[in-house]
Amino acid sequence: MAILPIITYPNKILEKKTGKIGDIKNSGLRKLVLDMLETLEENKGIGLAANQVGKSLRLCVIKLDGKTHILINPKYKSKSWRKEIAEEGCLSFPGRFFPVRRHRKVKVAAQDRQGNELVIEADGILSRALQHEIDHLDGILFISRKARVSAKKQLK
């Protein structure tokens, strides 16, 4: 395994939509997943998308509450109508945090490393992480989703 350099903003690859992965059992992909997990851990992040390490592929990893999620070709099944705002960070924006409005709950389908379909239903931080990472895969950065929080609301 190897720790990969993380690409930071404003590198253009971060704003390019990633490509769907066809050959899931490819050995290069297996190594990329392991390297991404090690890189995520080393940087004490919650989530990492493949384009953040220079690979424009529809793959992301999330580590939260001792659980590891590896999502290949993730897509939404549903998103809650209700949204909530919370502060987010991103490994491609070291030291920067912004309030972002996200769907409260999401249901995401993806493939696992064997190519089987997996479905995750999440709320809370996992829901937020899934939306942040799927945005990365679509070339959307959290700075473009910065919530305008009024002074009044911030006091609450």
- Of the candidates 122, 29, 125, 145, the residue with the CA atom closest to the CA atom of residue 76: 122
Residue 12 vs 152, nearer CB to Co ion: 12
CA atoms within 13 A of residue 31's CA, in its CB half-sphere: 8
Site for Co ion in 85-124 (CB under 5 A): 90
Closer of 21 and 90 to Co ion (Cβ): 90
By beta carbon distance, the residue nearest Co ion is 90
- Any alpha helices (H) in 44-140, and if so which ranges? 124-137
Q: Which residues contact 124 (CB under 8 A, 6 or more apart)?
A: none
The answer to whether residue 88 is catalytic is no
Q: Which of the ranges 12-20, 36-44, 54-62, 83-91 carries the binding residues for Co ion, by CB under 5 A?
A: 83-91
Backbone φ and ψ of 35, nearest 5°: -65, -40
| Residue 152 Cβ vs Co ion, minimum distance, rounded to whole Å | 29
When the beta carbons of 61 and 90 are compared against Co ion, the nearer one is 90
Matching residue, tokens 């910065």 = 146
- Nearest approach in angstroms of CB 96 to Co ion is 10
- Which residues are catalytic, by number? 133
